[in-house]
Chains A and B, each alone.
Chain A
């Protein structure tokens, strides 16, 4: 088990460690100004020094990310279900979804602050929801509608109801599409939350922490907050992958023969 994990993760670990080492060496040789790029050791030192603040900020941003992600996923799934089930929904909700997605969402952040209050988390959550819902909606819709013709005829030959076909064929068929979208959305949610926080919301969150430190030329501290945001994104991505594997056991079954 351990050796298998090492075998799988080995190349990535080597690349990561090697990359950081190279970065460290390059910074020591070139010695650029701090605002260009701090060395990894400086960032890690800043990370350790401000661990308390960074932890609080990550928890607060994490709350925005996870609540926004969950709400966006639910909205995207409901939208996809409606569109794939009812013609009238397809004719109205699909263009509306595309229009919503075409809006430069981040540009709405100041407007949302005016709606929901400058320090309210709701405006940040709203940004995350709108960012997340579209990939979930568009991918899941594809999965719900692109079912195999033989499987559909087979279900009809059993006199299966529409709901039977949705449950037994459309849902399982949509799962890989949904999880691909979920993995994209996990990173999108972190980006959306941090950028939204630049404009308003709680002040003890990752967005303000980055802005304030960069403003005070404390670049290592700003990078440390960015690092925390990256870790949050990676953890969410891994969680999405774990849920995917647990809910689709047939995907991991090894093919015994052609």
Chain B
């Protein structure tokens, strides 16, 4: 991937649901956002602020009402059909009728990869997520954390340059969650992907990202754009005073006036 274009470029974008109908919802307002290729950016905001919608807009799973979204320099729809991004959700969304290997290979099957190439790729990814012996198991035989790792492996399988992650660790317990954060950072460092990560956990956003984008309550606007420079994340990072300073800064940025409605 050349760095000619930003991974994500959003210009003057508004999003309404059910526009000009009685149940109209103004979800996002005047979003301008540029995400550099190879960076790790978190989106955080109060629930219902449209952060998941913003992620789905980047994936062209829904479309902007006004404005423009470019992924790797091209319209989001083209990026979707070119399979430029991989996606992971809070619920792993593994197909229960497919084994772990078959789940990881699903996008590759749809893209017409040969059987041997698929097998080689899923074996490689099972190593990466440290589940080398689970290829032939079904999702129901795995724990929640393991399933989430498989979902991440699946989103990486076809080597997209961009990962869109919607609270992928939201349903995990705290210990598993911290462990998964370190694994994700490890994968990010090794693969050089751009990662856009939606979360509602302030420490998670600060620990993972180089940049935390704070969204206001609905209609979501970019309220703050906070750079996080904590260097290499290690065990002690979570106890570092600078880590707490950033957490405090993000928390302050999330203190919104109670809206009149």
| Chain A residues with a Cβ under 8 A of chain B | 148, 150-151, 153-154, 156-160, 164, 168-169, 172, 175, 248-250, 253-258
From B61, B86, B106, B144, A156 is in contact (CB under 8 Å) with: B61
Asked whether, in the complex, the Cβ of A159 is within 8 Å of the Cβ of B81, the reply is yes
Residue B87, interface by CB 8 Å: yes
**Interface residue ranges of B178-228 to A (CB < 8 Å):** none
B141 proximity list for chain A (CB < 8 A): 253-257
**Most A-side CB within 10 Å, residue of B95, B139, B143:** B95
Q: Is the interface of A mostly helix, strand, loop or mixed?
A: helix
Q: How far does the Cβ of A167 sit from chain B's closest Cβ, in whole Å?
A: 10
CA distance A258 to B176 in the complex (A): 14
Asked whether, in the complex, the Cβ of B85 is within 8 Å of the Cβ of A157, the reply is yes
A172 proximity list for chain B (CB < 8 A): 95, 97
With contacts A168-B106, A253-B138, A253-B140 known, is A154 near B93, CB below 8 A?
yes
CA distance A156 to B77 in the complex (A): 11
**Interface residue ranges of B133-181 to A (CB < 8 Å):** 137-144
CA distance A150 to B168 in the complex (A): 12
Asked whether, in the complex, the Cβ of B96 is within 8 Å of the Cβ of A154, the reply is no
Asked whether, in the complex, the Cβ of B110 is within 8 Å of the Cβ of A164, the reply is yes
Asked whether, in the complex, the Cβ of A257 is within 8 Å of the Cβ of B143, the reply is yes
Residue B83, interface by CB 8 Å: yes
Interchain pairs with CB closer than 8 A, number:
64
CA distance A248 to B137 in the complex (A): 14
| Chain B residues with a Cβ under 8 A of chain A | 56, 59, 61, 80-83, 85-87, 89, 91, 93, 95-98, 106-107, 110-111, 137-144
Asked whether, in the complex, the Cβ of A151 is within 8 Å of the Cβ of B95, the reply is yes
The 3 closest A-B pairs by CB, nearest first: A150-B93, A172-B97, A253-B138
Q: How far does the Cβ of A217 sit from chain B's closest Cβ, in whole Å?
A: 55
CA distance A255 to B95 in the complex (A): 15
Asked whether, in the complex, the Cβ of B107 is within 8 Å of the Cβ of A150, the reply is no
B107 proximity list for chain A (CB < 8 A): 158
**What would 13 A/B residue contacts be, using CB atoms closer than 8 Å?**
A148-B93, A153-B61, A158-B106, A172-B95, A175-B97, A248-B97, A249-B138, A250-B97, A253-B140, A255-B141, A256-B143, A257-B143, A258-B143
Q: How far does the Cβ of B88 sit from chain A's closest Cβ, in whole Å?
A: 9
Asked whether, in the complex, the Cβ of B91 is within 8 Å of the Cβ of A150, the reply is yes
